[in-house]
Chain A
Amino acid sequence: DAKTTQPPSMDCAEGRAANLPCNHSTISGNEYVYWYRQIHSQGPQYIIHGLKNNETNEMASLIITEDRKSSTLILPHATLRDTAVYYCIVRAVNDYKLSFGAGTTVTVRA
């Protein structure tokens, strides 16, 4: 049972911000939102995670709505190397597994 819904694909212009939406309307209070990405022929790579506050690190920003039913991953200045499949994952505090869905295929174009 998918806990998240993401668009299957999106394009982004190089140098512009990429905003990746994720819907997780059934999220529980003890569940975090994680984002991973997978560049072609590589393993998934952690990007960021959050519970209810917005988060920022050197890779991206995560904006979580107040009701926690959706979130947006922001890549501030997309580069060609950001072309990848991006996975939004909901994960409980006591759950060690990562449950990947189909993700969003992001293509950054020059």
Chain B
Amino acid sequence: GAGVSQSPRYKVAKRGQDVALRCDPISGHVSLFWYQQALGQGPEFLTYFQNEAQLDKSGLPSDRFFAERPEGSVSTLKIQRTQQEDSAVYLCASSVLLAPYNEQFFGPGTRLTVL
């Protein structure tokens, strides 16, 4: 079956623009995660959803970052007034359940470049 998909794959934004990044998780997966990966570093946790409920947003770097998953499937990560330091790959992952032994399946990521 299809894996996690993300769109767009690449996004170039001018500083100050708003962007929206989409994640389509694997069908039936309850948990959804967003991570941010700066160049040359490992991914860092941003936020977590269980169905439509955002249970943890402790990793969001500022109030310019907002994520939603209104129907418990597709999720959107929105960044308002983008800054150069927002340039990174944004990864989405989903898993069947919350239990730690459930592996997270990652999408290919969206590479955001802010000029």
- Closest-by-CB residue of B relative to A87 is B42
Bound state CA distance, A93 and B35, in angstroms? Answer: 20
Query: B100 interface residue, CB < 8 Å from A?
Result: yes
Bound state CA distance, A41 and B111, in angstroms? Answer: 9
Pick the most buried of A45, A95, A100, A102: most chain B CB atoms within 10 A of its CB: A100
Interface residues contributed by chain B, number (CB under 8 Å)? 24
Interface residues contributed by chain A, number (CB under 8 Å)? 23
Bound state CA distance, A2 and B45, in angstroms? Answer: 14
Number of A-B pairs, beta carbon distance below 8 Å: 56
Query: B51 interface residue, CB < 8 Å from A?
Result: no
Measuring CB to CB, which residues of chain B are less than 8 angstroms from any residue of chain A?
4, 31, 33, 35, 41-45, 48, 56, 59, 91, 93, 98, 100-101, 103-109
A sample of 13 more A-B contacts (CB under 8 A), given A43-B4, A101-B42, is: A43-B93, A44-B91, A44-B93, A92-B100, A96-B33, A96-B100, A97-B48, A97-B56, A98-B35, A98-B43, A98-B104, A100-B42, A103-B42
The 3 closest A-B pairs by CB, nearest first: A43-B106, A100-B42, A46-B103
Measuring CB to CB, which residues of chain A are less than 8 angstroms from any residue of chain B?
32, 41-46, 49, 85, 87, 91-103
